[in-house]
Structure formats: structure tokens, C-alpha cells
Structure 1
């Protein structure tokens, strides 16, 4: 079992072994809680009992078939959703190479803008140095 405070729902996290169950309390094998206090029992309103899981019976062939059928249905549903997303995004119209082409085009555009910025800055500096008040040439 594990102790859980009913007021705040917090636990000390220690799993204790039940040694006896009475009318209003549960005795556990002594242990020290996080405050160093020796614990040996709890009242019925302040604990939760953890029970062991019994070994399940061997799965039947029909259980495996059901699981596989459910997985197959889920995969089919995911494929349908994927197709809907591809259609909504226009993937079939663009084709798989479209996005890399866009990235390449964007990279080229950034390169051209960078060259133009350098030319503009150079021309602006030249004009300032010569005292020319006209706008820079492009």
C-alpha cells in the first residue's frame, strides 16, 4: 500500500507492506517516511492499497487477430487523413520537389538582396564622403 494524504492528495512515495487490517486502521511493516518518522500504520481514510496484478491468461489467437485488425483499421484511417492533408496543402499539385525548389529560389533571392544592400551601402558612403545630396544610384 501507499500512503496518500486526503487533504492535499500527496504521498510520501513509499510503498509499504500491509501486515494487518483492523476495523479502523491498517498496520504496515515499519518504515521511515521522508521526515524520518517511523510509520507502522494508517487510519482507513488516509491510505491507498496497491494490489498485485494477477497473471493474465495466455492470449488467445482471436485476441491477436482482433489487435491486428484494430491496427489495420487505424493505419487505414491515418492514410486517409494523410491524403486529406496532402490535398489540403496542394501537395499533389506541387509535387515532392516543389518545396526544395522554393528553398533554392529563396536562397537565390536572399543572395541578390544581399548584393544590392552592399551596393547601396557603398554608394551611400561614397555620396556622404563627396557631400552629394542626391539619392543613391541603384
Structure 2
């Protein structure tokens, strides 16, 4: 492996480094799409799953002290990110486009969209991500 890496030009090393920087992001996107599909299937078939808000509300509604329980509920959105997780708007937009494109996967499997067009669009998004700095070096 060391000898193969030693033979790479600086430009090739940059490509390899970008690949390894981008791969975890692409894996996370595919995992998110897969989870969203699973949750949608469970919701659309009226099945319960851990964390389903509707099931929790139904369970609380059956309690004699439901009003008291709900009076103590406090929903506070918490957004946390390690500084290395902060991404540029361009990357976030591309992440959303890749997510949407992967959600269309079942459409080309059923033939409602062209497979070649679907694949080419996905490749374009990934190529743009590969050429975009994930973190901006300077403030605007």
C-alpha cells in the first residue's frame, strides 16, 4: 500500500483525500434515506415502532391523569454540531439533492423514470461534492 501511495502525484493524492472525506457523508445520506423509507413504510401500514410519537400520545391519552402528564411536557429543539460537522450551504444543498435523488431510486426500478438519466444526475451531484470544499477556509 505504501508503495502504491508513494507513486501517486499530488493531484491524485488530493482526489484520494477528497474521496475519503466525502465517503462518510455519502454513507450517512444513504442511511438517512433507508431509515426514512423504513419509517414511512411503518407509518403507511399503521405499524408501531420505537419512538413513534402517535403511539406515545395514544398511550398517554389512556391515562387518567393525561392532562397533568401533558402539562409537564416541554419540547425543546436542540441543535448540536461539532465544529468539524459544520458544512457549507453548498454542501448542505448537494446533500439534500443526493438524498432526494436516492429517494427516487424506486422510480427507476419501476420504470417511471429513465435509469440512465437517474444515474447521470446522481453522478453529477457526487462529482460536484467531490470538487467542493466541505468547510470554507475564510469568512465571507
Q: TM-score interval w.r.t. the shorter chain?
A: under 0.3
Higher helix content, 1 or 2: 2
Q: TM-score, normalised by structure 2?
A: 0.23
TM-score, reference length from structure 1: 0.24
Greater gyration radius: 1
Write 1 or 2 for the structure with the bigger share of strand: 1
